[in-house]
Chains A and B, each alone.
Chain A
Amino acid sequence: MVGLSVGEKHFIQGGIAQDLRSDGRKRLTYRPIYVETGVIPQAHGSERVRLGATDVIASVKAELGKPSALQPDKGKIAIYVDCSPTAAPMFEVVFALAGRGGEELSTELSLALQRCLLGGKSGAGAGIDPASLVVVEGKVCWDLYIDGLVISSEGICSMPLPLLLSNTGIPKVDVEAETKGDDQPEVSISDEEFLQFDTSGIPVVVTITKVGRHYIVDATSEEESQMCSAVSISVNRKGHICGVTKRGGAGLDPSIILDMISVAKHASEQLINKLASEIAAAEASEEES
């Protein structure tokens, strides 16, 4: 990340204070988000999202598997985010010196996403309902593997997830024969029919960055260098908070966090609408081509 001179920092802070950022955005405006669906034909659902210089590909693969003995009526979901070494120079440098710099960020992102999507241990409050993934209770269920790949990153990337999941079509499964006891039932996977995934409960992650006395969303890397602290809040369509992560920086008074949460709720509505229209446009263009 390039350093900034005192004059430039002052300029950025002044801009945020006056609600006019360096590229003309307001404090709570997102940069245009470009979405392309279906980038990985072998996956059941995939998407590529670009926001500024951040570029992320996400894909969903579904495989048939056996549900765990503890939760026989639920499917399994695994989420993993990987930061490729070409994503940002910082991953590269640390990688050369000691361990993999990108791995820390990968695990952090994966965990954060798991928490907000999968809910608690009992599965309560999950964005994706695992019960919908079961095929034959106790025997066969869908295993969803959600993978994200950060190709290039600028600052904190918190990619909205509804995108990739909306494009997922899980093939419809027909159970062939009834079997008793512990035998594995035979299932045939239909190539034609797909069940669309229910994405209404899926949250969006909004990162609020505090600069001076104001909050901004979608900070560029220059603005991020000025931040006091940042909090990532995932909000779902109903306005419920699914997860809160504080991302470094100075300590915050609890009232500020509550403040940020309300700002996040407001910003998330716009973001959800924007994403919905982008997805629709992407799918429409995909059908055209």
Chain B
Amino acid sequence: MKRLGSNNRYEDSYQILLANREDELETKIGTGPPKMPLILDGIAVVVGKHVLLGNKTNTDLIGGRYFNKCYPVIVGGKLNSSFDTPQDNDGHGTHILSTDGGNSIANTSGFGGLLWSGQVKIQDLLMVLSLTLLHDRSQLEPAPWLWSFLAKLSSTTIKKMRGLQLPLSQTQRIRLQRAFEKLQSLSSKANSDASVTVADTIPVNYEDAFLKGHGTTDLNGELVATVCGVVERINKLVYVRGLRARYKPEVGDIVVGRVVEVAQKRWRLEINFSQDAVLMLSSMNMPDGIQRRRTALDELNMRGIFEENDVVCAEVRNFQHDGSLQLQARSQKYGKLEKGQLLIVDPYLVKKSKSHFHHLEHFGIDLILGRNGFIWVGEHVETRDSMAVDQANSSEQSMVLEEKNQTHTPLEMRQNICRTANAVRVLSTLGFSMDADLIMETVELSSSLKIDIHDMLGSEFHVLVAEREAERRSLMGKRRR
């Protein structure tokens, strides 16, 4: 391992590492000026005369590093000293203003204004690009080529990301490709599903009046995307939906959330939004069903209703003035969810529909599609009549619960729950919108083909589901005509 700083040349380094673990990019990216070593995911490739970085040093470089100007870059050893280390005091890497599908990540600093850091919520970022350019200061070229290079880099990554993370055999790959092409051709809006990366021009008819939405900006008279994602058009509004965007709530949405905190007269729920949503004690029905003022005793017994880590179903009531969300759970169908499993998918896959609560009678299970991407699959629970819970009876209640603990879900219902959950997982991997009918069809497909529950997560079933969906949509299209 050579020391690049050994001849005392001070070098600028901007580091962009690929944190999305797509490999094989080194074969695809040959663009950009020479003398630029690429570090992809800890695998270094030498370009020009620069150093080959082996595994050990790369492990320090992953996650993004910050090289201050005017300090020699030491490669080949553990980077620990605060001057020579590429880390800042918090152990974060390259500090740049960060974007998270349009939201901002706290605790990052703007330095150099080059790219993303994404240490805090790294899983929300599309990718953290960390590319070390180690070269002489004199050879540092201005940023524009870097932008175009990065745009190309990100576009290849996006294309890879859209590919499934499944090992597909050759025939399976071809079949899947065909199914997707068919679906694309059937899509009524022709160009609207164009995926774009940062700095791509959005195809728009400039004569028509259109509104520039999120993720777009006007650059030199052209409409250019500022995030990586998919172009969506609604009437005259053109915006770019980030691929890993957070949930965007609307009043009246049904959401499923997890309690993170029991605070004064309210619960805080995590719902895949930029802030935690608030469920006021007064927005919750009391267990005894009586409409009354919440007393101090009620406040002390909040944990008896919802505890930390409980899964709760509620409805969006309104937005507070500071942008946070308020929920209400006044109806019997809302409340704590037990005896099942929670699945997390991308929020944009759950579209607004008439009903988000589905009781699949045939299987005896409940399916709740939260618009924030949390989907609950569990045993069917009859909407409870108000139970009388006195303080004196609370011990009795806990006894009843203990007895309930002994009785597990019956095997057949559990199998149905697992099948439905796997169907949701398959649809989410394929990127199809979640719809109760679609989920049911997928489950029926799997049981009719006698596919083992676990094999539903295999590549063959994914291909089958994609083909089936393509067929179904083409049939629907024909019926319309």
Q: Answer yes or no: B440 CB below 8 A from chain A CBs.
A: no
Pick from A7, A17, A151: contact of B41, CB below 8 A: A151
Residues from chain A with a CB closer than 8 A to the CB of B452 are 24
- Known contacts A20-B415, A24-B453, A48-B23; A32 and B458 CB within 8 A of each other: yes
Closest residue on chain A to residue B456 by CB atoms = A24
Q: Is the CB of B42 within 8 A of A149?
A: yes
- Known contacts A7-B311, A10-B405, A85-B62; A20 and B418 CB within 8 A of each other: yes
Q: Answer yes or no: B338 CB below 8 A from chain A CBs.
A: yes
Q: Is the CB of B52 within 8 A of A42?
A: yes
Binds B, one of A54-62, A109-117, A241-249: A54-62
Residues from chain A with a CB closer than 8 A to the CB of B59 are 82, 84, 149
Q: Is the CB of A57 within 8 A of B421?
A: no
Complex Cα spacing A61 to B54, Å: 9
Q: Is the CB of A8 within 8 A of B62?
A: no
Q: Answer yes or no: B425 CB below 8 A from chain A CBs.
A: yes
Distance in Å from the Cβ of B66 to the closest Cβ of chain A? 13
Q: Answer yes or no: A80 CB below 8 A from chain B CBs.
A: yes
| Mask of B306-341 contacts with A, CB within 8 angstroms, 1/0 | 011111000000000000000000000000111111
Q: Answer yes or no: A11 CB below 8 A from chain B CBs.
A: yes
Binds A, one of B136-144, B347-355, B406-414: B406-414
Q: Answer yes or no: A194 CB below 8 A from chain B CBs.
A: no
Residues from chain B with a CB closer than 8 A to the CB of A15 are 414, 418
Q: Is the CB of B422 within 8 A of A14?
A: no
Q: Is the CB of A7 within 8 A of B258?
A: no
Those of A1-42 within 8 Å (CB) of chain B: 2-8, 10-15, 17-18, 20-26, 29, 32, 34, 36, 39-40, 42
Q: Answer yes or no: B271 CB below 8 A from chain A CBs.
A: no
Complex Cα spacing A249 to B167, Å: 35
Those of A53-104 within 8 Å (CB) of chain B: 55, 57, 59, 61, 80, 82, 84-86, 92, 95-96, 100
Residues from chain A with a CB closer than 8 A to the CB of B422 are 23-24
Pick from A7, A40, A61, A84: contact of B62, CB below 8 A: A84
Q: Is the CB of A25 within 8 A of B56?
A: no
- Known contacts A23-B425, A59-B55; A10 and B338 CB within 8 A of each other: yes
Q: Is the CB of A147 within 8 A of B41?
A: no
Q: Answer yes or no: B403 CB below 8 A from chain A CBs.
A: no
- Known contacts A6-B307, A10-B339, A10-B405; A23 and B21 CB within 8 A of each other: no
Complex Cα spacing A205 to B211, Å: 58
Distance in Å from the Cβ of A48 to the closest Cβ of chain B? 7
Interface centre among B54, B307, B419, B458 (most CB of A within 10 A): B54
Q: Is the CB of A86 within 8 A of B415?
A: no
Q: Is the CB of B63 within 8 A of A17?
A: no
Pick from A14, A92, A149: contact of B409, CB below 8 A: A14
Residues from chain A with a CB closer than 8 A to the CB of B52 are 42
Q: Answer yes or no: B457 CB below 8 A from chain A CBs.
A: yes
Q: Is the CB of B340 within 8 A of A85?
A: no
| Mask of B55-91 contacts with A, CB within 8 angstroms, 1/0 | 1101100110000000000000000000000000011
Complex Cα spacing A12 to B409, Å: 10
Q: How many interface residues does A have (CB within 8 Å)? A: 49
Residues from chain B with a CB closer than 8 A to the CB of A57 are 41-43, 55
Closest residue on chain A to residue B44 by CB atoms = A42
Q: Is the CB of B340 within 8 A of A11?
A: yes
The number of inter-chain residue pairs (CB within 8 angstroms) is 137
Q: Is the CB of B23 within 8 A of A39?
A: yes
Complex Cα spacing A82 to B59, Å: 7
Q: Is the CB of A22 within 8 A of B421?
A: yes
Complex Cα spacing A5 to B55, Å: 40
Residues from chain B with a CB closer than 8 A to the CB of A6 are 307, 309-310, 338
Complex Cα spacing A190 to B106, Å: 54
Those of B416-459 within 8 Å (CB) of chain A: 418-419, 421-422, 425, 452-454, 456-458
Closest residue on chain A to residue B405 by CB atoms = A10
Q: Answer yes or no: B342 CB below 8 A from chain A CBs.
A: yes
Closest residue on chain A to residue B23 by CB atoms = A39
Closest residue on chain A to residue B401 by CB atoms = A6
Distance in Å from the Cβ of A25 to the closest Cβ of chain B? 5
Residues from chain B with a CB closer than 8 A to the CB of A268 are none
Pick from B44, B337, B419, B425: contact of A7, CB below 8 A: B337
Complex Cα spacing A25 to B455, Å: 9
Q: Is the CB of A40 within 8 A of B91?
A: no
Complex Cα spacing A81 to B234, Å: 50
Q: Is the CB of B338 within 8 A of A20?
A: no
Q: Is the CB of A22 within 8 A of B258?
A: no
| Mask of A257-282 contacts with B, CB within 8 angstroms, 1/0 | 00000000000000000000000000
Residues from chain A with a CB closer than 8 A to the CB of B463 are none
Pick from A11, A34, A43, A85: contact of B63, CB below 8 A: A85
Residues from chain B with a CB closer than 8 A to the CB of A25 are 454
Complex Cα spacing A59 to B23, Å: 15
Q: Is the CB of B454 within 8 A of A8?
A: no
Q: Is the CB of A2 within 8 A of B341?
A: no
- Known contacts A8-B341, A11-B341, A14-B409; A2 and B55 CB within 8 A of each other: no
Complex Cα spacing A13 to B341, Å: 12
Residues from chain A with a CB closer than 8 A to the CB of B342 are 8
Q: Answer yes or no: A236 CB below 8 A from chain B CBs.
A: no
Q: Answer yes or no: B284 CB below 8 A from chain A CBs.
A: no
Complex Cα spacing A21 to B59, Å: 35
Complex Cα spacing A26 to B411, Å: 13
Can you list 9 pairs linking A and B with CB atoms under 8 Å apart? A6-B307, A10-B405, A23-B422, A32-B458, A40-B43, A57-B43, A86-B63, A100-B91, A147-B56
Taking A5-B309, A24-B454, A57-B41 as given, write out 12 further A-B residue pairs in contact, using a Cβ cutoff of 8 Å, ordered by the A residue number: A5-B337, A8-B341, A10-B408, A14-B408, A18-B408, A18-B411, A20-B418, A24-B419, A24-B452, A85-B62, A96-B91, A149-B62
